[in-house]
């Protein structure tokens, strides 16, 4: 039986969200300037939340991660340590938008001292940075699930050969609008992150990602719609544009899906800025019409959002 429980809206007012689908070449400075142009274009279209793709400042691939990695801690890093950090901050501030800065390769170093010697250990992450409209860093997300797959005869990739995983679930409050959950690419295949974020009040789940030409046509849109229908929230996936001259061929097709799992807007494979308006009434309509939130049987199965969840890096 549906409950008559009254729930506060999770999205306080309508907001336009843009996914910026762009291609990254080998020149980091050029990539950052190009991203700035496209963020400006998204803001001019009325977007107040702008999303960039995974590895937007560099080519995607294990061979590239170390050479493009930037030191992010302590925050704020110097411009020499992290030009991408400062470029993203400026993009958000100059355009007055919340900027979910796709992801960039991150370098973290630790020094251990032994008898008569010290050793510097380098650890690499795939990290997303989110900035406020004033250019303030709001949160970071290190990719939790590393992309290690092997589809015989079609595609093999092992991020864990170079990268280490993050260890927390990431949500961020955007005061005028509400809370969003942020994860990266392969994280979308793990519904637990999405379920927890939705049950903690997120109105949207946002995934910068770079699916390939094998898994993209199979699962990219399917996973976006699945996370939306399971959780009755908006879902945005933002991909790089496809560059067949690069070593990694991204599927593209950045998209935004509504709480009833309908695709609101979707790019093709080329560079594009796609914009959708998110409306809290649509979330409430979905949840009242199909009242999953009041019908879950936690007497039969556990609520994953009430278990041990890391919201901070250990």
Concerning whether 284 is annotated as a catalytic residue, the answer is: no
- Length of the chain counted residue by residue: 314
Residue 307 to residue 196: CA distance in whole angstroms: 10
Please list the residues that pair with 142 across neighbouring strands.
127
Please list the residues that pair with 235 across neighbouring strands.
205, 257
Concerning whether 200 is annotated as a catalytic residue, the answer is: no
Tokens of 253: 């097709």
Assign 3-state DSSP to the chain and report helix, strand, coil percentages, each to 5: 25, 30, 45
SS3 114: strand
Catalytic residue among 28, 38, 48, 143: 143
- HSE-up (13 A, CA, CB side) for residue 207: 34
C-alpha distances in Å from residue 304, one per residue of 9, 102, 269, 301, 309: 22, 27, 36, 9, 8
Catalytic residue among 185, 202, 238, 282: 185
- Specify the DSSP class assigned to residue 180: E
Instruction: Report strand pairing: 49-51 vs 234-238.
Output: unpaired
Tokens of 201: 């009040």
For 127, counting Cβ atoms within 10 Å of its Cβ (0-12 exposed, 13-18 middle, 19+ buried), the class is buried
Concerning whether 285 is annotated as a catalytic residue, the answer is: no
Active site residues per annotation: 54, 143, 185
């Amino acid at each position: 039986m549906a409950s008559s429980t009254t729930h506060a809206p999770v999205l306080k007012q309508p907001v336009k969200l843009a996914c910026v689908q762009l291609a990254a070449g080998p020149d980091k400075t050029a990539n950052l300037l190009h991203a700035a142009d496209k963020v400006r274009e998204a803001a001019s279209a009325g977007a107040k939340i702008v999303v960039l793709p995974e590895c937007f400042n560099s080519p995607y691939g294990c061979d590239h991660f170390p050479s493009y990695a930037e030191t992010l801690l302590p925050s704020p890093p110097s411009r020499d340590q992290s030009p991408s950090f400062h470029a993203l901050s400026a993009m958000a501030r100059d355009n007055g938008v919340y900027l979910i800065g796709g992801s960039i390769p991150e370098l973290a170093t630790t020094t251990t001292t032994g008898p008569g010697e010290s050793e510097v250990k380098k650890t690499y992450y795939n990290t997303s940075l989110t900035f406020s409209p004033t250019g303030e860093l709001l949160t970071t997300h290190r990719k939790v699930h590393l992309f290690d797959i092997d589809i015989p005869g079609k595609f093999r990739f092992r991020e864990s050969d170079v990268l280490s995983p993050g260890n927390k679930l990431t949500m961020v409050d955007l005061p005028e609008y509400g809370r969003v959950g942020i994860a990266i690419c392969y994280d979308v295949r793990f519904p637990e992150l999405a379920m927890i974020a939705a049950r903690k009040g997120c109105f949207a789940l946002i995934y910068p990602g770079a699916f390939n030409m094998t898994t993209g046509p199979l699962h990219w849109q399917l996973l976006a719609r699945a996370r939306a229908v399971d959780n009755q929230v908006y879902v945005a996936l933002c991909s790089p544009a496809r560059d067949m001259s690069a070593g990694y061929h991204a599927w593209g097709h950045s998209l935004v899906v509504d709480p009833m799992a309908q695709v609101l807007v979707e790019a093709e494979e080329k560079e594009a800025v796609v914009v959708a308006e998110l409306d809290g009434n649509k979330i409430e309509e979905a949840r009242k019409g199909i009242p999953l939130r009041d019908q879950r049987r936690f007497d039969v199965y556990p609520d994953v959002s009430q278990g041990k969840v890391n919201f901070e890096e250990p």
